[in-house]
Structure 1
Amino acid sequence: MIKNYLKTAWRNLFSNKLYTLLNIAGLTFGITCFLLIGLYVFDELTFDQQHSKAKQIYRVVQHINTKGEASIIGSASHTLAEQSRSSIAEIENTTKIRFIGRDNLVNPQNPVNNQETIAMADERFLQVFDFPLLYGNKDAALKEPNSIVVDEELAKKLFNSTDVLGNTLVFNFLQEPLKITGVLKKLPANSSLRFNLLLSDATIKNEGPVDWLRNDYNVFTVLEEDTDASLVGTKLTKLVLDKIQPELGTSFSFSLQPLSDLHLKSSEIRDGARNSNVDPMPRGSLLYIKIFSFIAFFVLLIGGINYMNLTTARASNRLKEIGVRKVAGAMQGHLIRQFLIESLMLTFISFALAVIVLNLALPAFNTFTSKELSLGFSTDFKIWLYALAFTALTGILAGTYPAFLLARFKPVSLMKGLNLHSNKDVSLRKVLVVFQFTISTVMIFATIILYQQVQFLNQTNLGFDKDLLVVIDVNSGKARSNFEMVKNEMMKIPSVKSVSVSSRVPGEWKTFMNVKIKPRGSSDDHRIAFFVGADKDFTKTFGVHLLDGRTFDTVNDSASVILNETAAKMLGITRADEQLVEIPSAASGGLSYQAISDSNLPFEAKVIGIVKDFHFQSLRDKIEPLVLAYNQNPVQPIDYFTAKISSSDVKGSLSKLKEVMLNNDQQDPFEYNFLDDQIAKFYIEDHRRQTMIIWAALSSVFIACLGLFGLATFSAMQRVKEIGIRKVLGADVLGLAALLSKDFLKLVLIAICIGFPLAWWGANKWLQEYAYHIDVEWWMFAAAGFLAILTALLTTSFQAIKAALSSPVRNLRS
């Protein structure tokens, strides 16, 4: 019987080539989009799940409230990490890692300079996390001082081999050579922790006073099974409160964040252990995961709806076949199974084609998204199970209604050729068409909104000039201490217009310093501001507008500061009249102000200028208070040269700047970025998501149009005699095309009316992610509606015009 079902289904598919092609094309596109987005979403949702104790691993998160200003920091202190392991029974193990900047790493046997991000981890790190070692012992690799573990790619880069155990490496900032005690397999792409080397934490001793509130380590705990994480967080808070009392007006607490939440649920958490130009914890967006999941589901659903609509619309062509089967003894169940098998066969043919298309598209998609997705024999079996299950479900759901519709009629009625379609059946098809175009309209609108927001991010005036600014890393003490001489040499280059040195730059990709500040003698509490050290040419080089006062002048300004508008307003300063302000403490990457101890802190500074607000961070963040201090300040030394160059000879300018730097910094490589390119990296994920949504929108519209084309074709066939009579009576082609198209356009208009409120709600919710964003305007709705109507009109008018141009004599005769 099954063999007969399959043979009949195969014959039926080939006997109706146009509708079979439309169904297969729609389902193939739908399944391809579903699989592609599904692989992306699956990868995002399974971040950090490769560790055997993933469900027991938590990150320690510090909550600090300083005089009403709250902060959540995803890092804690060395002391807390060590003491909690022995003090809290529910903690099975702890480990810690921190990122302390970048330095020149050299293989003494082949001394080629390589700037690498330095990650330091304790001896338990490779016991807690299952990052596999190709060579070495995970229990001992990070135990001894001056030990280093490298990944296979770095090993090949330095030694042209992965078997490098026992070899030595040298970091400039360390006096002792480092022994390679382990070689890591390349880290999986879906790991929140990103590094290519691990320096043993014992290499640099944690000297100085015990500080429970430092936040320079990512601290991870392994809890006993079935332990209440909130209870352990409370115990951590109590452990610290038993040792210290917070400053007046400051409160703190600790909580535990599951490892599985690091990637998607850390948008509000600042990482105090981060101090490099490579983000050690790239973050995803739970909102986009939800959006993409809905898109994948609905695109697949649109393909299934096409099948349902076309099958029910063409049901009358199979009346006699069904009647003969029933007369011959076929039961209703037999017919239902027959039509479901047809549906499943079509769906799995589409699935096979979709897998082929997907594998052709994946290399480009992986390059675009910086992922390593695949769908083959080595793919996680769960992905295949999900894919096959959803495909089968699509086939069953798409075929169920047509199957029950066709199998329910009595054989006598069928053999007489009575009309199969009831008003209920027609209404259902209309509802499904409306549903398809509602989704398509929302997708078109989302594409317009996303495109406009990304354009806004790229074109908004940031309050400074970002073009043709070359930002050069200062990697050595010599270049830092002789910066005036280096600046003078750079200024001798004809194409260099201006040069500035600073500790950070606008659009910074490293961690900013924070300071406490208040007017001297004020009874108000200290407020918190960002801090940047800069020289006298900072405002000129970056084009920052001075509103009041003056910029830095000489070394006598070492105790002077310039405020941005927001900082001036926060401190109640309207004019820069050399008012004195107190800066008692500073912190890097968080708000634990015990983090920096310096003999020059606290210090007093005079306010000599106020600059117009500029965006020194991403447009996702509102402009915060900013203090610009002279480069010779006690908080943070210079870290960059920034050269403003002309556009006439960019390559020549870079070559000459490199020559100047190498003359003053022979050991370190010349590292530079164009500031506008670096700022664009803030929004690279927005560009990726924009492109993905555009393609998903195009796919959904294309699939919906395939269905509409099929229905329009069938409608024209059903009304062929009516068209012939109307033409004989004098109807013109335009009138007939309008007659055949208007019913479908009505459905599209209804879909637009339903889709617009949904689109407006979704767009406003999404734009809340940005502190600065576009407004939803009327023309966006008009454009989306026009595109939806135009698409539907072009789809239906082809068949309508074709039918209207046909010979009325032939139509009436046949």
Structure 2
Amino acid sequence: MNAQPPKYPLRFLRWFCREDYLDEIEGDLIELFEKQAEKSPERAKRRFVWDVVKSFRLRNIRSFKRSQNSNNYGMYKSYFRIGWRNLWRNKLYSALNICGLTFGIACFLVIGLYVFDELTFDLQHGHADRIYRVIEQKSVKGEATTIAAGSYKLAEESRSSIPEVENTTRMMRQGRANLVDPENPVPFQETVTVADEHFLEVFDFPLSAGDERTALKEPNSIIINEDLARRIFNSTDVLGRNLQFSHRSSPLKITGIFKKHPTNSSFTFNNVMSESSFYNADFFKQTMAYDWASTSFSVYALLNPDADPGSVSEKMTRLVLSNATLEEGTKLSYSLQALKDMHLYSEGIVDGARNTNVESIAQGNPLYIKIFSFAALFSLLIAGINYTNLTTARASSRTKEVGVRKTVGAMRSHLITQFLIESLLMTSISFALAILIVNLLLPSFNHFVGKQLSLGISTDYWFWLTTISLVTTIGLASGTYGALLLSHFKPVSLLRKLSLQRKGDLSLRKGLVIFQFTISIVMVIGTIVLLLQVGYLNETNLGFNKDLLVVIDVNTGQARSNFETVKNEMAKVPSVRDVSVSSRVPGEWKTFRTIKIKNQGSTDDPLVSYMIGADKDFLRTFEIELADGRNFDTPLDSSSIIVNETAAKMLNITEAYGQVVDIPEVSRDGAFGPINDENKPFSPRIIGVVKDFHFQSLHEKIQPLILAYNQNPIHNIDYYSVRIAPTDIQGTLDKLKTIMVSNAAHDPFEYHFLAEQLALFYVEDERRQALLGWVALATIFIACLGLFGLATFATQQRVKEIGVRKVLGATVLNLVSLLSREFIKLVLIANVIALPIAWWAVNTWLQEYAYHLELKWWMFGLATASTIIIAVITISQQAIRTAVTNPVKSLRTE
């Protein structure tokens, strides 16, 4: 066989060469190739490539200007015109496709915005990719803790001793205190955060007033956000004014005003005081000189661009270990957590030096991010499947159009281009409608999820690029199969209207319908289980009565010292049933105090337990049941404790008869230390055992708990808990406020209903359930739109058959069964596939909860029955309409 010139160089020559030169140049090159191929074919091919390259000269290149561009423009304009006419001519199918795509894209956009917001937490800082939080891992006699905190010296010396560390900053939480405008002394109870002068160098908190370089440098200076400025001063023009801080005698000068943080920020403080305000205090001088291994600060490091976080953390560990004096049996190490990982990947890390209002931020969960990401993609995918199904089903209605176009010379590539343009046109219309719908829904959605999402010019360009790319891909992919199918057949077959339905096409459509409903059924089951789980969390018996309990914050020493007087005055209010004081309350949103405890005389290591300081009215007020022993009675019980059943089991106590235990250590700032300066343990006796009650979220298992008398050496009272009658609630609250103000004039009346606070534990669960529920409904709706379209087309294809069957005596029920049977079978197959997948998925998900409902067969049966009923209704509408049509009209149809 004679050697042939290389194919691609020859194509390149024909593409660029002028038509009047092409025959001559191509002929000469081929003739030369054939001569050289007789000696060496391989060498001839290489020479041919080189000759083609040499022919690529300016005089040989043909013009690519107007004629071709003009023709292409006209051709594409024609394609758009034809596509628009087809949309308008086939209103039902166009409406079904556009509606399905619009819903799918709208779901994708809403959930996508939510997921994008979660994934971009804390990325508003310019150096976010180089900022790391210091995490301490400590093990004392085998007991390990992981704390997001560090020491003063670690932050200070790392900056100068570790070359890879560009900068560091320290933060500490001063606690809640009154901030007062001296000229208008109305107290505002706020959590005060303290930071060093490098804080605004590491983080980007832009100041609308003040100098970022010096705002936190001088002692007794503070920066506040615009919202706090308006609340205290009714103005944001407050630079240079003073604030009185109830924990300090010297006023604080306002040296900066910063804007409110974005909602996707782990930092929610509204004020920051300069660390230098404490430099002259004796306790802080000790800290500056000797603090190498405490957990009193949140420490953040800004690393150099090429630094290795693992290597830096090892150097930090060596730095501390070479300078700190640790107790025997203590192991200590440090690691660095990227700022961008704090929101989603902090499970198991104790935020020992909290510097944010953690109760206002829900910890992110990467599992839900994956679930919602898949849900958003599946909603878009299901909409694309709908379009593919309806396009392939209706392919035979466009056979004549395609046949004529092929007969007059249309190439297959032209036909594919036309159908893809139609698909993109449909997708573009749906995309525009989806954006409109999402912008109408976003205000309500933002209120529901507690975010500030937007879809417009201000939306991150990465979100737009990702969305447009995915929507375009879905549009092209959805139209590709129909385009390839219609452009494949020969003109004669198309003009004779031979069937385009091949076995493979039917199998593909059936598979896509099954896939759609499988996804929808899994999401419906997930929604049902999540809905029931949220109900379970809200209705589970907590072991105490949460209803009509008003919890009042105690913020001043005066309100603590005269609590007996306050209690007696509150008890005199007719609508007050019971009053108690305690250091913490069940459902606490602050940090519970933890202690180490062991039986006196035991040689075993002490065990960890939670602790609440409470008075003798605590059990009665919260209606907690005593299982054994007795309650607190008199101040003589200040050396007594009551334990819950879990703690009793931990201490191997079966009944309370005055056993003495030792409490040698208490946790402060995330680390255990001696209770007193003398390093003597607190040795109370156990006088009672209460039944276990859920003092934490139902996400957590019940832990050991110690109830110490309110006059204990570990923790002062922090709350009044008042059980009130259900009548005249506002009047009761007004009376309680009067009593509190009269006994602590500078303490603002802060209260909440315990039931509402407990409900906050499960707000995120309710939000996720609602989000998943709406997406599940949307996917079912989209799938049913496609099913309706396919059923409509199927019945139209069998109009004559139905007419003949009616003439021969078939009933409406027979005909509806005939037309619906095939589609119901697909939905049943989807259920069979979906049920095991759903069981595995929800069972895995429920393990996230320490207490959860048991899966029952009826939960899956309910989802199965719901989808089958919805599918039957969807299909039967068109089937019944066709079945009741006069058979004469059906048989006349051409």
TM-score (normalised: structure 1): 0.98
Aligned mates of 1:86, 1:784 — CA distance in 2: 62
| Cα distance in structure 2, aligned partners of 1:475 and 1:788 | 55
Hey, what's the Cα distance between the residues in 2 that align with 1:62 and 1:171?
Answer: 32
Q: Which of 48, 53, 68 is residue 122 of structure 2 equivalent to?
A: 48
Match among 376, 395, 406 for residue 326 of structure 1 = 406
Q: Check the 8 A contact 1:501/1:639 in 2, yes or no.
A: yes
Check if 1:556 corresponds to 2:668: no
Contact 1:585 1:601 in 2 (8 A): no
Equivalents in 2 of 1:410, 1:380: separation in Å?
48
Cα contact 1:57–1:223 (8 A) shared by 2? yes
Give the Cα separation in 2 of the matches to 1:740 and 1:63: 67
The number of residue pairs the alignment matches comes to: 813
Task: Summarize the Cα distance change of 1:245–1:62 in structure 2 as closer, same or farther, 3 Å threshold.
Answer: same
Aligned to 2:108: 34
Instruction: Answer with 97-106 or 317-326: which moved more.
Output: 97-106
- Letter of the 2:566 partner, please give it: V
Equivalent in 149, 164, 173 of residue 247 of structure 2: 173
Shift of 1:212: 3.2
1:195 paired to 2:275:
no
Q: Does 1:779 align with 2:779?
A: no
1:336 aligns with 2:416: yes
Q: Is the 8 A contact 1:95 1:220 kept in 2?
A: yes
Give yes or no for the alignment of 1:657 onto 2:736. Answer: yes
**Structure 1 SS opposite 2:699:** coil
- SS of the aligned residue for 1:279 comes to helix
Say if 2:134 and 2:301, in contact at 8 Å, map to a contact too: yes
Is the CA contact 2:674–2:680 (under 8 Å) kept in the aligned structure 1?
Answer: no
Deviation, structure 1 residue 471: 0.2
| Aligned mates of 1:600, 1:594 — CA distance in 2 | 9
Cα distance in 1 between the residues matched to 2:617 and 2:797:
78
Partner in structure 2 of residue 410 of structure 1: 490
- Do the aligned partners of residues 767 and 595 (structure 1) sit closer, same or farther apart at CA in structure 2, a change above 3 Å counting? farther
Per-residue CA distance 1:20-60 (angstroms, 9 max, x = gap): 00000000000001011111111111111111111111001
CA shift digits 1:368-409 (9 cap, x unpaired):
111111111222222222221111111101011111011000
Alignment of 1:395-544 (within 5 A): 395-544=475-624
**How far did 1:281 drift?**
5.5
Matched, 1:164 2:243: no
Question: Contact 1:213–1:594 (CA<8 Å) still a contact in 2?
Answer: no
| 8 Å CA contact retained: 1:211, 1:594 | no
User: Which residues of 2 match residues 64-463 of structure 1 at below 5 A?
Assistant: 64-205=138-279, 206-208=284-286, 210-274=290-354, 278-279=358-359, 282-463=362-543
Contact 2:268-2:357 within 8 A present in 1 as well? no
- Superposed displacement of residue 596, structure 1: 6.7
Larger displacement relative to structure 2 (106-115 or 426-435):
106-115
Q: What secondary structure is seen at the aligned counterpart in 1 of 2:551? A: strand
- On the 8 A contact 1:512/1:588 being kept in 2, the answer is no
Shift of 1:248: 4.1
Cα distance change on mapping 1:280 and 1:452 into 2, 3 Å: closer
SS in 1 for 2:359: coil
Which of 172-181 and 273-282 deviates more?
Answer: 273-282
Give the aligned CA root-mean-square deviation in angstroms.
Answer: 1.5
Letter of the 2:856 counterpart: E
Give the Å deviation of 1:213: 3.3
Give 1:249 shift. Answer: 4.2
Aligned ranges 1:587-736 → 2 under 5 Å: 587-590=667-670, 592-594=671-673, 598=677, 602-736=681-815
Paired with 2:346 and 2:378, the residues of 1 have a C-alpha distance of 28
Cα distance change of structure 1 residues 276 and 55 upon mapping to structure 2, 3 Å threshold? closer
Q: Is the 8 A contact 2:293 2:324 kept in 1?
A: no
CA offsets per residue over residues 559-578 of structure 1, 9 Å max, x none? 11111111111112222121
Q: Is the 8 A contact 1:275 1:511 kept in 2?
A: no
Q: Match for 1:727: what amino acid?
A: K
Aligned residues of 1:274 and 1:511 also touching (Cα < 8 A): no
Deviation at 1:695, TM superposition (A): 0.6
**Bigger CA drift: 100-109 or 3-12?**
100-109
Native 8 Å contact 1:100 1:276 kept in 2: no
For residues 583-641 of structure 1, the C-alpha deviation after alignment (integer angstroms, 9 at most, x for no partner) is: 11111352x21387555853211111111111111111111111111111111100000
Q: Structure 1 counterpart of 2:132, which letter?
A: Y
Would the aligned equivalents of 1:564 and 1:625 in 2 still touch at CA under 8 Å?
yes
Tell me the SS of whatever aligns to 2:609. Answer: strand
The Cα of 1:78 is off from its aligned counterpart by: 2.2
Specify the SS of the correspondent of 1:579: coil
Q: Deviations over 1:67-116 (max 9, x none)?
A: 44432211222232223222322211111222232111111122222111
1:163 partner amino acid: D
- Kindly provide the amino acid, as one letter, of the partner of residue 238 in structure 2: V
Which of 623, 645, 651 lines up with 1:565 in the alignment?
A: 645
Q: Which residue identity lines up with residue 71 of structure 1 in the other structure?
A: T
| Offset, 1:185 | 1.4
Contact 1:214–1:595 under 8 Å retained in 2? no
Structure scoring higher RCO (CA < 8 A, sep ≥ 6) equals 1
Secondary structure at 2:672's aligned position in 1?
Answer: coil
What displacement does 1:245 show?
5.0
- Shifted more, 137-146 versus 473-482: the winner is 137-146
- Classify the secondary structure of the residue corresponding to 1:593: strand
Quote how far apart the aligned CAs of 1:243 are: 2.8
| Unmatched segments (≥5 aa) in structure 1 | none
For 1:67 and 1:460, how far apart are their aligned partners in 2?
A: 38
Superposed CA offset, 1:695-731 (max 9, x none)? 1111000000100000010011011111111111111
SS of the residue aligned with 2:826? helix
Give the 3-state SS of the residue equivalent to 1:604 in structure 2: coil
Give unmatched runs, 5+ long, in structure 2: 1-74
Percent of paired sites with the same residue: 58
CA deviation after TM superposition for structure 1 residue 242, in Å: 2.0
Note closer, same or farther for the CA distance 1:275–1:456 as it changes in structure 2 (3 Å cut): farther
Q: Where does structure 1 differ by over 4 angstroms across 4 or more consecutive aligned residues?
A: 275-278, 595-601
Alignment of 1:733-752 (within 5 A): 733-752=812-831
Instruction: Classify the secondary structure of the residue corresponding to 2:660.
Output: strand
TM-fit CA distance, 1:748: 0.5
Kept in 2: contact 1:504–1:512 (CA 8 A): yes
Counterpart secondary structure, 2:684: strand
Bigger mean CA offset, 6-15 vs 153-162: 153-162
C-alpha deviations, 1:504-539, integer Å up to 9, x for none?
Answer: 000000011111111111000011111111111111
Match runs of 1:773-812 below 5 Å: 773-812=852-891
The one-letter code matched in structure 2 to 1:770 is Y
Q: Does structure 2 retain, via aligned residues, the 8 Å contact 1:277–1:510?
A: no
**Matched letter for residue 231 of structure 1:** S
